[in-house]
A = this chain, B = another copy of it.
Protein backbone atom coordinates (compact mmCIF):
# COMPACT_ATOMS: atom_id res chain seq x y z
CA UNK A 1 0.00 0.00 0.00
CA UNK A 2 1.09 3.52 -0.59
CA UNK A 3 0.13 6.21 1.92
CA UNK A 4 0.62 5.42 5.59
CA UNK A 5 -2.35 5.09 7.88
CA UNK A 6 -2.89 8.38 9.67
CA UNK A 7 -3.57 7.90 13.35
CA UNK A 8 -5.03 10.28 15.90
CA UNK A 9 -4.03 9.49 19.48
CA UNK A 10 -6.54 10.51 22.13
CA UNK A 11 -5.61 10.37 25.81
CA UNK A 12 -5.86 12.93 28.56
CA UNK A 13 -2.66 11.72 30.15
CA UNK A 14 0.23 13.30 28.22
CA UNK A 15 2.64 10.53 29.08
CA UNK A 16 0.23 7.84 27.99
CA UNK A 17 -0.57 9.70 24.80
CA UNK A 18 3.12 10.02 24.05
CA UNK A 19 3.65 6.35 24.70
CA UNK A 20 0.83 5.39 22.38
CA UNK A 21 2.11 7.76 19.73
CA UNK A 22 5.51 6.16 20.04
CA UNK A 23 3.94 2.75 19.59
CA UNK A 24 2.29 3.97 16.42
CA UNK A 25 5.51 5.39 15.05
CA UNK A 26 7.20 2.12 15.75
CA UNK A 27 4.71 0.32 13.53
CA UNK A 28 5.53 0.37 9.82
CA UNK A 29 2.77 1.79 7.66
CA UNK A 30 1.34 3.94 10.44
CA UNK A 31 1.99 7.55 11.40
CA UNK A 32 0.59 9.79 14.11
CA UNK A 33 -1.41 12.59 12.54
CA UNK A 34 -2.05 14.36 15.83
CA UNK A 35 -2.83 13.87 19.50
CA UNK A 36 -5.80 15.11 21.48
CA UNK A 37 -6.26 15.37 25.23
CA UNK A 38 -10.04 15.68 25.47
CA UNK A 39 -13.17 14.43 23.78
CA UNK A 40 -14.00 17.80 22.31
CA UNK A 41 -10.59 18.36 20.78
CA UNK A 42 -10.61 14.81 19.48
CA UNK A 43 -13.83 15.39 17.57
CA UNK A 44 -12.54 18.70 16.27
CA UNK A 45 -9.29 17.12 15.18
CA UNK A 46 -11.08 14.49 13.16
CA UNK A 47 -13.39 17.01 11.50
CA UNK A 48 -10.57 19.47 10.85
CA UNK A 49 -8.40 16.80 9.29
CA UNK A 50 -11.17 15.84 6.92
CA UNK A 51 -11.82 19.47 5.96
CA UNK A 52 -8.12 19.89 5.32
CA UNK A 53 -8.23 17.02 2.89
CA UNK A 54 -6.00 14.84 5.00
CA UNK A 55 -8.55 12.73 6.90
CA UNK A 56 -7.63 10.61 9.86
CA UNK A 57 -7.88 6.88 9.20
CA UNK A 58 -7.73 5.53 12.72
CA UNK A 59 -8.32 6.95 16.19
CA UNK A 60 -6.73 5.44 19.28
CA UNK A 61 -9.51 6.36 21.61
CA UNK A 62 -9.24 6.38 25.38
CA UNK A 63 -12.55 6.01 27.20
CA UNK A 64 -11.71 8.01 30.30
CA UNK A 65 -11.56 11.60 29.16
CA UNK A 66 -12.03 14.71 31.27
CA UNK A 67 -14.96 16.24 29.42
CA UNK A 68 -16.81 13.26 28.00
CA UNK A 69 -16.61 9.54 27.60
CA UNK A 70 -14.67 8.17 24.69
CA UNK A 71 -17.80 6.31 23.75
CA UNK A 72 -19.57 9.64 23.49
CA UNK A 73 -16.82 10.81 21.20
CA UNK A 74 -17.55 7.81 19.05
CA UNK A 75 -21.28 8.53 19.10
CA UNK A 76 -20.69 12.12 18.12
CA UNK A 77 -18.50 11.12 15.22
CA UNK A 78 -20.96 8.51 14.04
CA UNK A 79 -23.85 10.93 14.28
CA UNK A 80 -21.95 13.27 11.99
CA UNK A 81 -21.47 10.51 9.49
CA UNK A 82 -17.76 10.18 10.20
CA UNK A 83 -16.70 6.70 9.23
CA UNK A 84 -13.25 6.96 10.74
CA UNK A 85 -12.04 3.72 12.32
CA UNK A 86 -11.75 3.54 16.08
CA UNK A 87 -9.48 1.48 18.27
CA UNK A 88 -10.67 1.71 21.85
CA UNK A 89 -8.02 1.74 24.54
CA UNK A 90 -9.25 1.56 28.08
CA UNK A 91 -8.89 -0.03 31.47
CA UNK A 92 -12.62 -0.74 31.54
CA UNK A 93 -13.19 -4.45 31.36
CA UNK A 94 -16.90 -4.60 32.04
CA UNK A 95 -19.17 -6.22 29.51
CA UNK A 96 -21.33 -3.14 29.10
CA UNK A 97 -18.45 -1.03 27.85
CA UNK A 98 -17.24 -3.77 25.54
CA UNK A 99 -20.72 -4.19 24.11
CA UNK A 100 -21.19 -0.48 23.67
CA UNK A 101 -17.88 -0.25 21.87
CA UNK A 102 -18.92 -3.09 19.63
CA UNK A 103 -22.13 -1.40 18.62
CA UNK A 104 -20.18 1.72 17.72
CA UNK A 105 -18.17 -0.17 15.18
CA UNK A 106 -14.71 -0.16 16.72
CA UNK A 107 -12.04 -2.13 14.96
CA UNK A 108 -10.48 -3.25 18.22
CA UNK A 109 -10.67 -3.10 21.99
CA UNK A 110 -7.43 -2.91 23.94
CA UNK A 111 -7.39 -3.29 27.70
CA UNK A 112 -4.79 -1.23 29.52
CA UNK A 113 -2.11 -1.93 30.36
CA UNK A 114 -0.85 -3.78 27.33
CA UNK A 115 2.47 -4.59 25.79
CA UNK A 116 3.65 -3.48 22.40
CA UNK A 117 3.19 -7.03 21.13
CA UNK A 118 -0.51 -6.91 21.91
CA UNK A 119 -0.82 -3.45 20.41
CA UNK A 120 0.94 -4.49 17.25
CA UNK A 121 -1.36 -7.47 16.97
CA UNK A 122 -4.33 -5.12 16.79
CA UNK A 123 -2.63 -2.91 14.24
CA UNK A 124 -1.82 -5.94 12.14
CA UNK A 125 -5.42 -7.06 12.26
CA UNK A 126 -6.50 -3.58 11.22
CA UNK A 127 -4.02 -3.64 8.37
CA UNK A 128 -5.53 -6.90 7.15
CA UNK A 129 -8.99 -5.41 7.44
CA UNK A 130 -8.06 -2.43 5.28
CA UNK A 131 -6.35 -4.63 2.79
CA UNK A 132 -9.41 -6.88 2.53
CA UNK A 133 -11.68 -3.88 2.03
CA UNK A 134 -9.52 -2.10 -0.47
CA UNK A 135 -9.09 -5.01 -2.79
CA UNK A 136 -12.02 -4.28 -5.09
CA UNK A 137 -14.85 -1.94 -5.84
CA UNK A 138 -17.53 -4.52 -5.16
CA UNK A 139 -17.40 -7.50 -2.90
CA UNK A 140 -19.04 -10.89 -2.60
CA UNK A 141 -20.32 -12.46 0.58
CA UNK A 142 -17.05 -14.29 1.06
CA UNK A 143 -14.98 -11.15 0.76
CA UNK A 144 -17.19 -9.30 3.19
CA UNK A 145 -16.94 -12.13 5.68
CA UNK A 146 -13.19 -12.29 5.29
CA UNK A 147 -12.84 -8.57 5.85
CA UNK A 148 -14.78 -8.63 9.11
CA UNK A 149 -13.07 -11.82 10.18
CA UNK A 150 -9.70 -10.16 9.71
CA UNK A 151 -10.37 -7.90 12.65
CA UNK A 152 -10.70 -10.72 15.11
CA UNK A 153 -8.49 -13.31 13.55
CA UNK A 154 -5.70 -13.04 16.07
CA UNK A 155 -7.61 -14.42 19.01
CA UNK A 156 -5.24 -16.48 21.08
CA UNK A 157 -6.68 -19.80 22.15
CA UNK A 158 -3.93 -20.32 24.74
CA UNK A 159 -2.68 -23.83 24.26
CA UNK A 160 -0.05 -24.81 26.77
CA UNK A 161 0.58 -28.51 26.70
CA UNK A 162 -1.19 -30.46 29.38
CA UNK A 163 -3.60 -27.67 30.22
CA UNK A 164 -7.06 -27.28 28.84
CA UNK A 165 -8.18 -23.78 27.81
CA UNK A 166 -11.54 -24.19 29.46
CA UNK A 167 -10.11 -25.14 32.84
CA UNK A 168 -7.60 -22.35 32.54
CA UNK A 169 -10.38 -19.91 31.98
CA UNK A 170 -12.40 -21.02 34.95
CA UNK A 171 -9.38 -20.86 37.25
CA UNK A 172 -8.48 -17.45 35.89
CA UNK A 173 -11.99 -16.19 36.49
CA UNK A 174 -11.90 -17.43 40.06
CA UNK A 175 -8.61 -15.80 40.91
CA UNK A 176 -9.52 -12.57 39.23
CA UNK A 177 -12.73 -12.19 41.15
CA UNK A 178 -11.92 -13.75 44.46
CA UNK A 179 -9.13 -11.80 46.07
CA UNK A 180 -6.37 -13.96 47.50
CA UNK A 181 -7.15 -17.65 47.31
CA UNK A 182 -5.12 -20.68 48.27
CA UNK A 183 -4.76 -23.62 45.93
CA UNK A 184 -7.09 -25.62 48.13
CA UNK A 185 -9.73 -22.92 48.05
CA UNK A 186 -9.54 -22.60 44.30
CA UNK A 187 -9.87 -26.35 44.08
CA UNK A 188 -12.97 -26.35 46.23
CA UNK A 189 -14.69 -23.52 44.42
CA UNK A 190 -14.01 -24.94 40.99
CA UNK A 191 -14.76 -28.56 41.86
CA UNK A 192 -11.24 -29.36 40.78
CA UNK A 193 -8.70 -31.33 42.76
CA UNK A 194 -6.07 -29.43 44.63
CA UNK A 195 -3.34 -30.81 42.42
CA UNK A 196 -5.00 -29.62 39.24
CA UNK A 197 -5.88 -26.24 40.65
CA UNK A 198 -2.30 -25.78 41.74
CA UNK A 199 -0.98 -26.74 38.32
CA UNK A 200 -3.03 -24.02 36.65
CA UNK A 201 -2.20 -21.48 39.30
CA UNK A 202 1.49 -22.23 38.86
CA UNK A 203 1.11 -21.73 35.14
CA UNK A 204 -0.57 -18.39 35.62
CA UNK A 205 2.14 -17.40 38.08
CA UNK A 206 4.85 -18.29 35.59
CA UNK A 207 3.12 -16.12 33.02
CA UNK A 208 2.99 -13.27 35.47
CA UNK A 209 -0.77 -13.10 35.50
CA UNK A 210 -1.12 -13.97 39.16
CA UNK A 211 1.05 -13.29 42.16
CA UNK A 212 1.90 -15.78 44.87
CA UNK A 213 2.62 -15.26 48.54
CA UNK A 214 2.71 -17.44 51.64
CA UNK A 215 -0.06 -17.23 54.18
CA UNK A 216 1.33 -17.52 57.69
CA UNK A 217 -0.35 -17.82 61.04
CA UNK A 218 -1.79 -21.31 60.88
CA UNK A 219 -0.10 -24.51 61.98
CA UNK A 220 1.37 -26.65 59.31
CA UNK A 221 3.29 -25.70 56.26
CA UNK A 222 2.34 -22.21 55.14
CA UNK A 223 -0.30 -22.17 52.48
CA UNK A 224 0.46 -20.31 49.26
CA UNK A 225 -2.21 -17.90 48.22
CA UNK A 226 -2.66 -16.59 44.73
CA UNK A 227 -3.93 -13.19 43.67
CA UNK A 228 -4.60 -11.55 40.35
CA UNK A 229 -1.75 -9.40 39.10
CA UNK A 230 -3.99 -7.76 36.53
CA UNK A 231 -1.56 -7.49 33.67
CA UNK A 232 -1.33 -8.97 30.25
CA UNK A 233 2.35 -9.66 30.06
CA UNK A 234 4.02 -11.54 27.29
CA UNK A 235 7.19 -13.07 28.66
CA UNK A 236 10.04 -14.27 26.55
CA UNK A 237 12.29 -11.25 26.40
Contacts and interface: CB of A to CB of B under 8 A. Distances in A.
Interface of A: 75, 78-79, 81, 83-86, 93-95, 98-100, 102-111, 114, 118, 133-134, 136-142, 144-156, 158, 164, 166-167, 170, 172-173, 176-177, 188-193, 196, 212-214, 216-217, 222, 232, 235-236
Interface of A is mostly: mixed
A180 to B, nearest CB: 13
A80 to B, nearest CB: 9
Copies in the complex: 2
Contact of A217 (B100, B102, B191, B222): B191
A57 B81 CA distance: 24
Nearest to A145: B155
Given A142-B158, A214-B166, A235 B191 contact: yes
Contact of A139 (B75, B98, B133, B192): B98
A81 B99 CA distance: 12
A81 B75 contact: yes
Contacts of A148: 102, 108-109, 151-152, 155
A143 B85 CA distance: 22
Contacts of A149: 149, 152-153, 155
Given A95-B136, A145-B155, A192-B216, 8 more contacts: A83-B99, A85-B103, A93-B139, A93-B144, A138-B176, A142-B158, A148-B151, A193-B217
